[in-house]
Amino acid sequence: MSEKKTNRENRRRRRRRNQLISYCVMAVVLIAVGMGCFFGIHAAGSAVKQHQAAREESRQELLEASRVEESAQAQAAVAALFETESTEETESTYTKEDALNDMVEDTLAGMTLEQKVAGLFFVTPEQLTGVSQVVAAGDATRESLEKYSVGGLIYFAKNIQSEDQLKEMLSNTASYSLFPLFFGVDEEGGKVARVADTLKLDKTVPMGEIGAAGDTQAACDAYQNIGGYLSSYGFNVDFAPVADVLTNVDNTVIGNRAFSSDAGVAAQMVSRAVTGLQETGVSACLKHFPGHGDTAGDSHTGAAQTDRTKEEMEAEEFLPFQSGIEAGTDMIMVGHITAPNLTDGDSLPASISEKIITGVLRNELGYQGIIITDAMNMGAITEYYKSDVAAIMALKAGADMVLMPENFEEAYQGVLDAVADGTVSEERIDDSLRRIYRVKLRSRVL
């Protein structure tokens, strides 16, 4: 925030300096005009008094020469001043990026600590409201959003009944929220298509089929189609595409949800999929970093581990994520798999591992967008960690958003208490919110 105030103060100083420069320019021009009139009168007088001595004529010639020189100097000074003013104006140009940054900072400045912490959670409408099945947004939704200003809501098939019902539910929910909301869904195509399956839409084929055909434009077209109908209902986040490389043929959890067992093919497909989806205004979320394609276990029910070396993962698993980053993906989901060769042997799931989230994804791969955990109500987390502990660990590891904690209220209160006692700093919370709101507010500016 102090840096923003400094930038604004610098712009005010430049405006004041530009005003002073303008006054100087006007003064120089007036002096030059005055000198011209003065010497012009003297020149006319000398013409009338031609009988004056030759030395007077010489003096006038010298004065005229002096005037010409002074005029040239004045013109040069004016040109220099205009050049300086032009340079200053260029330096002080207020860009769309500046406007976005200011909007983000203004949003954060207007949030209470409770609102900030709630904004890090991405939950189901049932977790938010306490209702067993949400198919409409009314008083319960409005009151819950007043209490918990969550960052996002994720919907499943049970929340969808018809096109009109879905549109109205999302529209009403958005109108109740004080801050912009993420509306997310898992819509990968193939067997994971919550919206298309429920509404009986023409369903996109599994990504494995598109990858096998080798046509990257087909990947782009598929996700443009998916993004098109998602955005028409009000969704702005798709937890897709799958960026895993299917390096273990016995892995049925991922299977043909992945584009390919060839890392190069998967990388090309993921890049085009991200582009196609985000062109529709729906944010992509690559999953499941650092790569779920080699595991035999299912992190939905318990621990899942990859024994791939870091060198192997850099050569294969990381490639689709890197290509998705280069394509500009708004989000990356970190899975619950353990990868001991990335963490010096520890068995922490990737979603709560600082070595993986900050060390590898942020620092080594250079990702600066939103990092979200996989659903924290999955067995790989709930068997070993309470909701509050898991949420705090995820944030301390470098995650920006916590998806579907087993007990949302416990997780929320745990993070709030952690900020109060200094376990997690408010500055750390603000860093994540800046990344979140850059995406949420971007369309208003750019």
Residue of 42, 197, 298, 300 with catalytic role: 300
DSSP per position, 102-170:
HHHHHHHHT--HHHHHHTTEEE-HHHHH--SS--S-SHHHHHHHHH---SEEEE-GGG-S-HHHHHHHH
Q: What angle do CA 107, 171, 152 make, to 5 degrees?
A: 50
* Continuous segment of H or E residues that includes residue 187: strand 187-189
| Phi-psi domain of 331 (left: phi exceeds 0; alpha: psi -120 through 50; beta: other) | beta
In three-state secondary structure terms, 369 is coil
Q: Can you tell me the distance from the alpha carbon of 25 to that of 40, in angstroms, rounded to the nearest whole number?
A: 23
Q: Can you tell me the distance from the alpha carbon of 114 to that of 82, in angstroms, rounded to the nearest whole number?
A: 51
Query: Tokens standing for 233?
Result: 């209902």
Write phi, then psi, for 184 (nearest 5 degrees): -115, 160
Q: Can you tell me the distance from the alpha carbon of 346 to that of 350, in angstroms, rounded to the nearest whole number?
A: 10
Q: Can you tell me the distance from the alpha carbon of 114 to that of 124, in angstroms, rounded to the nearest whole number?
A: 19
Q: Can you tell me the distance from the alpha carbon of 205 to that of 158, in angstroms, rounded to the nearest whole number?
A: 22
CA gyration radius for the chain? Answer: 32
Nearest to 189 by CA among 161, 170, 209: 209
Catalytic, 300? Answer yes
Residue of 186, 244, 262, 374 with catalytic role: 374
Catalytic, 400? Answer no
Q: Can you tell me the distance from the alpha carbon of 417 to that of 411, in angstroms, rounded to the nearest whole number?
A: 10
Query: Tokens standing for 160?
Result: 């969808």
Q: CB of 186 within 8 A of CB of 239? A: yes
Q: Known catalytic residues? A: 300, 374
